[in-house]
Amino acid sequence: MPSFHFTAAPDAAGALAEMRTLYDDAGPDKADVIVALGGDGFMLQTLHAFLGKGKPIYGMNRGSVGFLMNDYRTENLAERLAAAERAVVHPLRMQAHTARGITEALAFNEVSLLRETRQAAKIRVMVDGRPRIRELICDGVLVATPAGSTAYNLSAHGPIIPLGARVLALTPISAFRPRRWRGALLPHTSEVVVEVLEADKRPVSAVADNFEVRDVMRVSVSEDRSQRLTMMFDAGRSLEERMLAEQFAV
C-alpha cells in the first residue's frame, strides 16, 4: 500500500482533516504520493512546491472547476491510486528582463504578458530569433503548454493541444492590430521572445502561472525538458481524455 502526504488549500481544511482521520500522513519526505485537496489553482501551487521531489501528485477537487483534479471521495484511495493513469508534464521557463535585472520563473500552464494600464500593449514577437509579428497592439499575449491549453489559453480563443503533441500555443489576448492574427502552434523546442515597445508609455507585466513580474522590457519563454512532474488521474479519466472531451463540449 502506498504512503500518502495530504496537502490542502485553506478552503479545504475540512477535507484535509477528514482524510487524515482515515489515512496515515507519512509527511512530504517519506510519502510515495502527494494528495492535493483543492481546486486547479491549488494544484498549480502543489506542482511548483513538489517539483524536483520525484513524487507523483494526485489531486481531489474541493475547489470550483477542478479540471486538473479527480473527484473527491474518501473511500478506496489506495485502489484508486493503483489503477490511476499517469501524465508527465514539463514546465515553461520564463526569463523576464526589467530595469532591475533578470527574473526567472517556471509555469506549468502558461506564461502571459498583460498590459498594466488603460493603454494597449505594443509588443514585438520573435520565434527562434526571427521576428514574426513586428508590432502587435493588444491586451497581451501568452505561451501555453498542452496541459495549460484548456485554461487561460482556451479563454483567449487559443487551441486545445493534445498532451503528447509536443507543441506550444502562442495566443494573442484581444489583439487590435493585426486584428486577424489568431495565434500560432509552435514546436515545443521553440524559444519565444517578446519585446515590449514603448515600455515607459505602455507598461507590461509577465506572469508565470501565479508569479508576476511587472514593468518588463523583454521576456523569453521556452519549454524546460530537464524538469518533469507526474500527475495521476482516475482510470478512464486521464488528462489526455479530459482534453479530448473538452474539444467536444457544447
Catalytic: 40? yes
What whole-number distance in Å separates Cα of residue 47 and Cα of residue 229? 7
Residue that has been written with the C-alpha cell 479545504 in this structure: 12
CB 154 within 8 A of CB 173: no
- Residue 217: count of CB within 10 angstroms of its CB: 16
Q: How far is CA 233 from CA 56, 72, 239, in A?
A: 10, 12, 7
Helices in 111-235 by DSSP H: which ranges? 152-155
Residue of 11, 24, 29, 40 marked catalytic: 40
Following DSSP, what letter does each residue of 164-190 receive, concatenated?
TS-EEEEEEES--BTTT---EEEETT-
What whole-number distance in Å separates Cα of residue 39 and Cα of residue 1? 26
What whole-number distance in Å separates Cα of residue 95 and Cα of residue 219? 6
Which grid cell is 34? 502527494
What whole-number distance in Å separates Cα of residue 185 and Cα of residue 90? 17
Query: Which residues participate in catalysis according to the annotation?
Result: 40
